[in-house]
Amino acid sequence: MGDEPNKPEADSSKPDSAPLPSPPTPTTTTATTTTTNPTTAMAISLPRDPEGNPNPSGPDPSPSWFTPKRLLVIFCIINMLNYVDRGAIASNGVNGSRRTCTDSGICTSGSGIQGDFNLNYFEDGVLSSAFMVGLLVASPIFASLAKSHNPFRLIGVGLLVWTIATAGCGCSFDFWSITICRMLVGVGEASFISLAAPFIDDNAPVAQKTAWLSIFYMCIPTGIAVGYVYGGLVGSHLHWRAAFWGESILMLPFAILGFVIKPLQLKGFASSVSKEAKGYGEMIDQKFQDDTNERTAEQAIPVDNDLADKTSQKFNLSTGSKQFLIQIKRFWKDMKALLHEKVYVVNVLGYIAYNFVIGAYSYWGPKAGYDIYHMSNADLMFGGITIICGIFGTLAGGFVLDKMDSTISNAFKLLSGATFLGAIFCFSAFCFKSLYGFIAFFSVGELLVFATQGPVNYICLHCIKPSLRPLSMAMSTVSIHIFGDVPSSPLVGVLQDQVNNWRETALILTSVLFVAAVIWFIGIFLHSVDRFNEDGEHDVPNVERSNRRPLLDENTE
């Protein structure tokens, strides 16, 4: 016979598969039973993934264009754009001010979003945090979809939603339209925050994993600070709508990149085609398991074609619901695994307490500084401290942990120590009556506090098995927002209404950092295992995993 390059080959390592006489079409799933043993499971033949690795158990013979450093740079730019958007919508140039009228009837037109849509402060507050709704709902969904879809493609889908949503913000015509667009911005961001960190952790050098994560998370304070400046300049010189359109244009190339570049695979996940083959095989075997003991593929028994068609239709109708139930069951199973991991739970609890303070600082800090120290440029002062300390503190935390030897126990030591010392300096800063003393101590305190970004996410990625990492990052993000920065700002506002003293309010808020330090200190004494090299769901041995080349390494010889 002539060559048949598209014909599937038999794999002797998989007893469930058998060679078929002819290849199926790209949309066909073929189920057959063997002729020698009626009890043998059915063999499923599916087309190979044209974008995936034809040999899932070994390195890709044609590596992606990405190198690890290129991937890090691209993900850092995307992460910064996400937070530029957050800073821009909070800036005076974009957010603007309400229309005001004097008792004499003289009115001044408002500016920005608040002025154009005549929003009250409650509506303005809803607008600034509306993206959280989409983020919190979509994060676990994207993490769960990573089990059955290529994670890199999911990032591309999310970035496309983000691009369309930010453009929609610029085209909005009232409060509800822009609020819905802000929710969709959160949906788009959800795919990225859940999956980007695992990709970076997969491809970072072993001795620099925390440093690479720190570089990635350094973009958070940097992006917010750049967003303040960007929103102010564009809003003042052009229009607040142009700020959103500019963000959309800047993100569009990265959204396209997610679809046109060969998709990357995460550690601990099989290719989508092999997962489909396994899923369909299980369902077909369940559907016909009673019949396999009575028939063989070559039996000369008359077949009722009408009955076969009805059975096929019934199976096709039930496939979607079965897949949905499988996804739900898998999600709850993974959630139970996360909640039973004490190291993960303690780490996230400390992160919630930490984010409670940081979130309130970012919202109320300038107002408190203006009231306590009469700063005329409180926005600039706090923005400058945040960006400088955020960059150097975040990078320092990652490099220090790598020098200490990146282990979960050492990460907890760094978290508790840096947070405790940072809390002392921040608390002391608000005790100073001198502005210069406040700036000096508060800067050191923020430098230490921001050093936690790399280690806390390192623990989230390494205390659970690789296949749970997207869900781990998603639920960590959901938790720190729901219980951390989302409620902290209004609660601090209520506290200020009661005590009517910003110095006392700031001191009480800063005390929560000591709680975070204590929680992370408990983590030092927990039994921890680095599970980065544990088996994923596609049963590749640990030894084989350890000998793999990096997914993105194109400099192999």
Rounded to whole angstroms, the Cα distance separating 167 from 444 reads 39
Selected from 1.20.1250.20, 1.10.3720.10, 1.10.10.10, 3.40.50.300, the CATH number assigned to the domain covering 67-98+110-266 reads 1.20.1250.20
Rounded to whole angstroms, the Cα distance separating 135 from 132 reads 5
Instruction: Name the 3-class secondary structure at 409.
Output: helix
Cross-strand partners of 108:
100
Return the H-helix or E-strand segment holding 45.
strand 43-45
Our measurement of the distance from residue 485's CA atom to the centroid of its chain's CA atoms, rounded to an integer in Å, reads 17
Rounded to whole angstroms, the Cα distance separating 419 from 427 reads 12
Show pLDDT as tens, one digit a residue, over the chain (557 residues): 444 444 444 444 444 444 444 444 444 444 444 444 444 444 444 444 444 444 444 444 444 556 778 888 888 899 899 988 888 887 777 877 777 766 676 767 777 788 888 877 677 777 777 888 888 888 878 877 877 777 778 888 989 999 999 999 999 888 899 989 999 998 888 888 777 878 887 777 877 777 888 888 888 878 887 887 888 888 888 888 999 999 999 999 999 888 887 766 666 555 444 444 444 444 444 444 544 454 444 444 454 555 555 555 555 546 667 766 776 777 788 788 888 889 999 999 999 999 999 888 876 777 787 788 877 666 667 767 877 888 888 888 888 888 887 788 999 999 999 999 999 999 999 998 888 888 899 999 989 998 888 889 889 888 888 878 888 888 888 888 888 887 887 888 888 888 888 899 999 999 999 999 999 999 999 988 877 776 544 444 443 333 334 444 444 33
Rounded to whole angstroms, the Cα distance separating 432 from 269 reads 53
Torsion of the alpha carbons at 407, 409, 414 and 415, rounded to the nearest 10:
110
Backbone φ and ψ of 145, nearest 5°: -65, -25
- In angstroms, what CA-CA distances link 318 with 112, 260, 283, 322? 51, 33, 10, 6
67-98+110-266 and 331-532 share one CATH topology? yes
Q: Read out DSSP for 127-168?
A: HHHTHHHHHHHHHHHHHHHTTTS-HHHHHHHHHHHHHHHHHH
- Identify the pLDDT of residue 268: 54
Tokens read off for 47: 């087309």
pTM of the shown model: 0.65
- Identify the pLDDT of residue 544: 36
**H helix count then E strand count, the chain:** 20, 4
Rounded to whole angstroms, the Cα distance separating 554 from 250 reads 27
Tokens read off for 18: 């058998």
- Identify the pLDDT of residue 19: 47
Helix/strand/coil percentages in the chain, nearest 5: 70, 0, 30
Backbone φ and ψ of 107, nearest 5°: -115, 145
Q: Read out DSSP for 259-327?
A: HHSPPP--TT---HHHHHHHHHHHHHHHHHTTTTTT--TT------HHHHHHHHHHHHHHHHHHHHHHH
Tokens read off for 93: 């140039």
Contact (CB, 8 A) for 276 and 81: no
Fold of 331-532: Growth Hormone; Chain: A; (1.20.1250)
Rounded to whole angstroms, the Cα distance separating 224 from 314 reads 53
- In angstroms, what CA-CA distances link 543 with 115, 143, 530? 62, 27, 16
What one-character DSSP code corresponds to residue 30? E
For the chain, give every domain's residue range: 67-98+110-266, 331-532
Rounded to whole angstroms, the Cα distance separating 496 from 491 reads 9
- In angstroms, what CA-CA distances link 190 with 149, 216, 328, 439? 15, 16, 19, 35
Tokens read off for 146: 């990573």
Cross-strand partners of 100:
108
Please name the residues in contact with 550: beta carbons below 8 A apart, sequence gap of 6 or more. 68, 202, 203
Contact (CB, 8 A) for 501 and 485: no
Rounded to whole angstroms, the Cα distance separating 346 from 527 reads 12
Rounded to whole angstroms, the Cα distance separating 169 from 553 reads 39
- Identify the pLDDT of residue 467: 79
Rounded to whole angstroms, the Cα distance separating 485 from 512 reads 12
- The sign of the torsion formed by the CA atoms of 15, 20, 26, 32 equals negative
